[in-house]
């Protein structure tokens, strides 16, 4: 019976979540947003610094636990933006020293996949479509393998850049989804699947040119972008299902909030007799409950660093999903 406090701070979101016996007791977060322009890492880190204490107290209060009951602190170690990751790491170290409890270093991408267990997914292929990351991940032969990924931009960052170019703020995904619903005419855009990988920079250039031309309709562009790019994601996800022989597709990441992407994944799964799993929104986007959830699994297997040994612990801004030592399965 462990109570694990998780901390998430890889990018725009600072969150604290508390999990006990695989149940989420609280999941509090605050995200950095802008009216114009994208994420400035130093500004996002400042946002985290200003809000962390309040989020921490809110998470404790919502969970009905007090600080002394926490058994360990799980931290999102990477991948992510270094200034943001440092905010979480420093907070974790201070707390660890204060309450004399260990730290569990967690990979953010793997946490997105493992939280799928709450939806009933047992051994899924995950389409992880977030801001900075776009990967098709599945567990195979002792590691989480990347079966396909973006060769350049993460799909969320791509959509945000498109939105920013069209004069919209951050995050652009929800705005573009709304515009896309009004789009009527499909405009052919480059379809860029290379083996199991996708590439988005060429499509972005194409979209930018069209935005600059006077007769482009933003609703039609948003609609065509979604149809094209989401079809690319679904194609590689389906191929990963075929290759691994697995029968479950799990969505993860902020872009997975998009109802058209969900619909396209559901249709593909129905057509090939696979099950489709999509966590609720609060667990799809960056959140700390998933960090605590995986942290608890690792903690129960004895994977943690005692509070007297945490000085050497560092962030891993470029940690790859397939680098992670999986000692808990």
Considering the complex, state which of residue 3 and residue 146 has its C-beta at the smaller distance from ligand AMP: 146
- Cβ-proximal residues to 254 (8 Å cutoff; 6+ apart), any chain: 129, 130, 131, 156, 171, 173, 284, 285, 286
By CB under 5 A, name the one of 26, 130, 224, 226 that touches Mg ion: 130
Does residue 171 have a cis peptide bond before it, meaning omega lies within 30 degrees of 0?
Answer: yes
Shorter beta-carbon distance to ligand AMP: residue 148 or 171: 171
CB of 170 to ligand AMP, least distance (A): 7
Angle between helices 201-212 and 155-165 (to 10 degrees): 10
Site for ligand AMP in 285-314 (CB under 6 A): 285-286
β-pairing verdict for 197-198 and 3-8:
unpaired
Q: How many residues bind Mg ion (CB under 5 A)?
A: 2
CB of 108 to Mg ion, least distance (A): 6
By a kind-dependent CB cut-off of 5 to 8 A, residue 177 interacts, out of Mg ion, ligand AMP, none, with: ligand AMP
Q: Which are the contacts of 107, defined by CB distance < 8 A and separation ≥ 6?
A: 77, 78, 79, 319, 321, 324
Residue closer to ligand AMP by CB (options 112, 117) is 112
Among the listed ranges 102-110, 141-149, 154-162, 262-270, the one in contact with ligand AMP (CB under 6 A) is 154-162
Exposure of 73 by Cβ count < 10 A (0-12 exposed, 13-18 middle, 19+ buried)?
A: buried
**Residues 111-130 vs ligand AMP: string with x where CB under 6 A?**
-------------------x
Contact flag: residue 255 with ligand AMP (CB under 6 A):
yes
Give how far Cα 79 sits from Cα of 12, 34, 93, 304, Å: 13, 22, 18, 19
Counting beta carbons within 10 angstroms of the beta carbon of residue 142, is it exposed (0 to 12), middle (13 to 18) or buried (19 or more)?
exposed
Q: In whole angstroms, how close is the CB of 131 to ligand AMP at the nearest point? A: 3
Span of 57-65, 135-143, 145-153, 172-180 interacting with ligand AMP by CB under 6 A: 172-180
Q: Report if residue 160 touches ligand AMP, rule: CB under 6 A.
A: yes
Token duo for residue 116: 């799928």
286 touching Mg ion, by CB under 5 A: yes
Which residues are near ligand AMP by CB under 6 A? 11, 130-131, 156-157, 159-160, 171-174, 177, 253-255, 257-258, 285-286
Which residues are near Mg ion by CB under 5 A? 130, 286
């Amino acid at each position: 019976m462990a109570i694990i406090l998780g901390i998430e701070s890889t990018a725009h979101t600072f969150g604290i979540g508390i999990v006990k016996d695989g149940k989420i007791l609280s999941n509090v977060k605050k995200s950095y947003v802008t009216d114009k322009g994208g994420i400035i890492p130093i500004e996002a880190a400042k946002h985290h610094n200003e809000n962390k204490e309040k989020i921490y107290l809110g998470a404790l209060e919502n969970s009905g636990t007090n600080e002394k009951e926490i058994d360990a602190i799980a931290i999102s170690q990477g991948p992510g933006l270094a200034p943001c990751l440092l905010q979480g790491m420093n907070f974790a170290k201070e707390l660890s020293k204060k309450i004399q409890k260990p730290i569990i270093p967690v990979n953010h991408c793997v946490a997105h996949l493992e939280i799928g267990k709450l939806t009933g997914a047992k051994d899924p292929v995950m389409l992880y479509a977030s801001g900075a990351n776009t990967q098709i991940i599945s567990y195979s032969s002792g590691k989480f393998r990347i079966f396909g990924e973006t060769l350049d931009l993460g799909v969320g960052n791509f959509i945000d850049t498109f939105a920013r170019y069209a004069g919209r703020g951050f995050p652009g995904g929800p705005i573009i989804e709304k515009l896309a619903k009004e789009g009527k005419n499909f405009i052919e855009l480059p379809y860029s699947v290379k083996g199991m990988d996708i590439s988005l920079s060429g499509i972005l250039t194409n979209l930018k040119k069209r935005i600059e031309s006077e007769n482009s309709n933003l609703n039609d562009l948003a609609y065509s972008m979604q149809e094209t790019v989401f079809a690319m994601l679904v194609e590689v996800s389906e191929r990963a299902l075929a290759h691994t022989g697995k029968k479950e597709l799990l969505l993860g990441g902020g872009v997975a909030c998009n109802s058209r992407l969900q619909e396209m994944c559901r249709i593909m799964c129905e057509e090939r007799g696979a099950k489709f799993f999509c966590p609720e929104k609060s667990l799809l986007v960056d959140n700390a409950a998933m960090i605590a959830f995986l942290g608890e699994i690792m903690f129960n297997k004895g994977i943690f660093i005692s509070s007297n040994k945490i000085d050497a612990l560092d962030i891993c801004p470029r940690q790859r999903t397939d680098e992670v030592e999986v000692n808990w399965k």
